[in-house]
């Protein structure tokens, strides 16, 4: 059983972290890397050359009638990889990190599904995405990942102490400057008394604040690499919210939340933080069913909800999060999905 590692461009990039973590799950599940050693070369040209040479070497070494686990998307190399694997009579499995059609980045749904489903089984984010694949006519097994992992050798413990408080610190991790999280600049309009919003990530523009920094409910904490940020985040809740508006998750990013599992959710859980999530997000049922946090329709209602939240209820959510913290740091979700995919085709 094999996979092909590649160069992952940025240590700040959540998608790169999700893919390296899935490689870890493959390693633990008994798969071997046929390509070059995993790397994080930031230079695009050098990274592209390394990827092409590493993938080519791996495909030459790939044994006939073996098993190859792939990750999607893999830029322009997927058709090349699947073509050679099929010539060698290999079984191909695929974990799907993003669907461009659902992100409104392509209009050709059929072409993307053909590309993804050149596989014996696929692993996708959640039950909503499973249904979307099946409703589109996909006939191969479609496996529910449930939650992305966030692998860490050490357990972040900075949020272990639980104290009763009147004002909670809400955490949001992401990149700023676009419409994906434009709403953060409007938080001060809410006049919240029961929470402050702590931001982590690149691109926050101080000049866009609506009030003076010292009077703002928004605290910018800086940017850190993917392996460091779990030990830098301090707070009480992690926020899963995308779009331009604080009233609802709007636009293409809000629509994508109805299908995908944002990797920041796993980061928050690794940090030991309960989740505040948009009620219409695909991941909301998972959060609520496991009592890992709160689902809301609008950020405007959060202040009132937190005011009524009892200390006992918060402690129960924290306790539940710690159970899942161990799972994501050990790649248990990836391992379970890999096992289910192999079983689906009797391997």
Give per-residue pLDDT as tens, 246-297.
999 988 999 999 999 999 999 999 999 999 999 999 999 999 999 999 999 9
Helix, coil or strand: residue 196: strand
- Residues in CB range of 322: below 8 A, 6 or more apart: 272
How far does CA 203 lie from the centroid of its chain? Answer: 20
Contact 259, 282 (CB under 8 A): yes
- Assigned CATH class of 168-328: alpha beta
* Mean pLDDT on 56-85: 95
Whether residue 43 is predicted with pLDDT greater than 80 in this model: the reply is no
- Count CB atoms within 10 A of the CB of residue 332: 17
- Residues in CB range of 23: below 8 A, 6 or more apart: 3, 5, 33, 38
Residue 89 sits at φ, ψ, to 5 deg, of 70, 30
Whether residue 342 is predicted with pLDDT greater than 70 in this model: the reply is yes
User: Where do you find CATH 3.40.50.2000 in the chain?
Assistant: 2-149+331-344, 168-328
**Band of the pLDDT at 14, cuts 50, 70, 90?**
low
**Which residue has better confidence, 139 or 38?**
139
pTM over 0.85: yes
Dump pLDDT digits (tens) for 153-176. 999 999 999 999 889 999 999 988
| Gap between the Cα atoms of 234 and 246, Å rounded | 22
Contact 142, 117 (CB under 8 A): no
CATH architecture assignment, domain 2-149+331-344: 3-Layer(aba) Sandwich (3.40)
Kindly state the percentage of the chain with pLDDT values over 90. Answer: 82
């Amino acid at each position: 059983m094999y996979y092909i590692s590649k160069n992952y461009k940025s240590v700040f990039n959540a998608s790169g972290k999700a893919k390296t973590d899935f490689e870890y799950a493959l390693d633990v599940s008994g798969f071997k890397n046929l390509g070059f050693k995993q790397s994080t070369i930031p230079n695009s040209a050098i990274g592209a050359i390394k990827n092409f040479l590493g993938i080519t070497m791996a495909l030459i070494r790939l044994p006939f009638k073996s098993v190859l686990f792939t990750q999607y998307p893999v830029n322009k190399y997927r058709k090349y990889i699947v073509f050679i694997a099929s010539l060698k009579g290999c079984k191909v499995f695929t974990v799907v990190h993003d669907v461009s059609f659902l992100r409104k980045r392509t209009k050709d749904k059929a072409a993307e599904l053909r590309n993804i489903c050149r596989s014996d089984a696929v692993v996708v984010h959640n039950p909503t995405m499973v249904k979307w694949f099946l409703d589109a006519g996909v006939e191969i097994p479609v496996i529910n990942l449930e939650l992305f992992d966030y692998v860490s050798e050490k357990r972040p413990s900075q949020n272990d102490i639980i104290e009763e408080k009147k004002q909670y610190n809400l955490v949001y991790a992401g990149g700023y400057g676009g419409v994906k999280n434009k709403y953060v600049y409007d938080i001060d309009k809410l006049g919240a008394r029961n929470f402050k919003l702590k931001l982590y990530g690149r691109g926050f523009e101080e000049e866009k604040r609506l009030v003076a920094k010292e009077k703002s409910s928004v605290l910018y904490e800086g940017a850190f690499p993917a392996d460091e940020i779990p030990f830098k985040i301090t707070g009480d809740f992690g926020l899963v919210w995308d779009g331009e508006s604080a009233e609802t998750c709007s636009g293409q990013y809000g629509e994508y939340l109805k299908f995908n599992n944002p990797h920041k959710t796993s980061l928050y859980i690794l940090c030991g933080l309960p989740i505040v999530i948009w009620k219409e997000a695909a991941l909301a049922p998972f959060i609520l069913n496991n009592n890992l946090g709160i689902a809301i329709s609008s950020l405007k209602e959060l202040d009132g909800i937190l005011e009524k939240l009892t200390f006992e209820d918060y402690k129960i959510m924290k306790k539940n999060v710690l159970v899942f913290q161990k799972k994501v740091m050990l790649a248990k979700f990836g391992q379970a999905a890999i096992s289910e995919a192999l079983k689906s085709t009797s391997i």
